[in-house]
Structure 1
Amino acid sequence: MRVISVDHLDYSEFPDLIEGMHRLRYRVFRDRLNWDVSVSDDMEIDAYDALKPTYILAIDDGRSVVGCARLLPTIGPTMLANTFPALLGPHPAPRSEKIFESSRFCVDTSLADGVAATGLRDATFSLLAGILEWGLSKSQEAVVTVTDVRFERILRRAGWPLERFAPPMQIDDTKALAGHLPVSETALMNVRQMGQLHGAVLAARVTRPLAA
């Protein structure tokens, strides 16, 4: 498995990876979690995908997308500021060239039928490390995200605890919350050390995609 970053200049060169990511998001957010999301055929695509985000993708040896995250600058529209501002509580939405938003983080849990549990941990920890590596490469200081209490626990176990903006809120079937995380070499070291402690074999550092 390897972890790559795909920015808007790469989209047309790697349509298979982009489509694979949207299909993975459909399976996770529509089929498994039953979220009320925008779909097109068997792909989950929303308005934020039109804003030229960078995608962090975990790719297996067969070139299938097994995990993903979407990154957007907070100086433009974000899910936190424009879709879920209630999760901010009394705090203003972050707007900074040094802060980005991560959304649509997911891993293909259907791999559990054919891959050991460590394979899923590999993708989760590698994606978290990839987000941090990308942020460090762009001189970012923090990342904000909208998530749920389940993933908040995963972040804590990964050594990258989330600092909440406000208490969780029930949104449909999800106990949702928002918060921010530091982007630092220390946070990256913690995630990698915790991944190794949990038996994960983390992918090499995040790279740009190579042509097929």
Structure 2
Amino acid sequence: MLATILDADALRHAEILEQVWQFRHRQFVERLGWEAYRRPDGREIDQFDGDEAIHLPLVVDGQVVGYSRLLPTLQPHLLSDVYPHLMDGAQWPRGSRIFEWTRCIAEVSDKVIAGVPISNILMTGVMEYCLVAGIEALVVETHPKLVNLLVTTGWEVMPLAAPSVLEGSLIVPITAKPSMAGLLKHHELYGINGSVLDLEHAHGNPFGPSALLRLAFVEEQHGNVQYARMAGE
């Protein structure tokens, strides 16, 4: 399931994070051709993988099969230090509970969890984690196709600037806000019942030492579907 690891806890989760670096290299360098990030050791790590980074690896049978990273916007992140030109001089949201969503990818695979494709579990897990951790919004620099996906799966999306061409691709900066209605939309679309977070493995609380708690809502109405308790299934 989706683990939640703060890079400050890297020593306690060294085995999974080593898999993360290798997974990122396979997916972004070998699969997608990010040659600037190719390394002889087959590990993709950048300057933002510091103590403030939140790693969300999707683990199936002990293997990382999907991944997302969240970066605090009050610290250096991609939009602030690498792609500020995407904003065309405008400012972007910053705050203690606003994070940047980066490096989101699932392997090309037929693997499923409870019959649900791993890519759908990954996207659902990111929203659930935001709600559990108290993250209010995500800043994303992404393709218009993914913007459409986020809108249709229940994220509250707001463009921050006009699309720009970046390395031959059209990229638009946006904010994506999670909501309980959005999480229910994910569950409805993907046929998910229950939490997809592995909070026992690594609770990943960016706002304090206390363990994160699962959502405990019951009988939420969404469209024509009645959802029973999702937490602790």
TM norm. shorter chain > 0.5: yes
State the TM-score, normalizing by the size of structure 1. Answer: 0.82
> For 1:1-212, what aligned pairs fall within 5 Å after superposition?
2-40=1-39, 41-61=41-61, 63-109=62-108, 111-112=109-110, 115=111, 122-160=117-155, 162-196=157-191, 201=192, 204-208=195-199, 210=201
Q: How far off its partner does 1:188 sit?
A: 1.5
- The Cα offsets for residues 51-75 of structure 1, whole Å up to 9 and x where unpaired, read as 43111111112x1101001111111
* SS of aligned partner of 2:119: helix
> Structure 1 residues 9, 50: closer, same or farther in 2, change over 3 A?
closer
RMSD of the TM alignment (CA)? 2.4
Identical pairs, percent: 25
Larger Rg: 2
Q: Structure with the greater relative contact order (CA < 8 A, sep ≥ 6): 1 or 2?
A: 1
Higher helix share: 1
Residues in 2 aligned to 1:37 and 1:184: alpha-carbon distance in whole angstroms:
36
State the TM-score, normalizing by the size of structure 2. Answer: 0.75
Residues in 2 aligned to 1:202 and 1:20: alpha-carbon distance in whole angstroms:
28
* SS of aligned partner of 2:155: coil
Residues in 2 aligned to 1:108 and 1:193: alpha-carbon distance in whole angstroms:
23
Contact 1:6/1:209, CA 8 A, preserved across alignment: no
Residues in 1 aligned to 2:54 and 2:155: alpha-carbon distance in whole angstroms:
21
* Count of residues in Structure 1 that have an aligned counterpart in Structure 2: 200
Structure 2 unaligned spans of 5+: 203-233
> Structure 1 residues 69, 37: closer, same or farther in 2, change over 3 A?
farther
Residues in 1 aligned to 2:13 and 2:159: alpha-carbon distance in whole angstroms:
36
Aligned to 2:223: none
Tell me the amino acid that sits aligned with residue 100 of structure 2: E
* SS of aligned partner of 1:66: strand
Residues in 2 aligned to 1:46 and 1:129: alpha-carbon distance in whole angstroms:
25
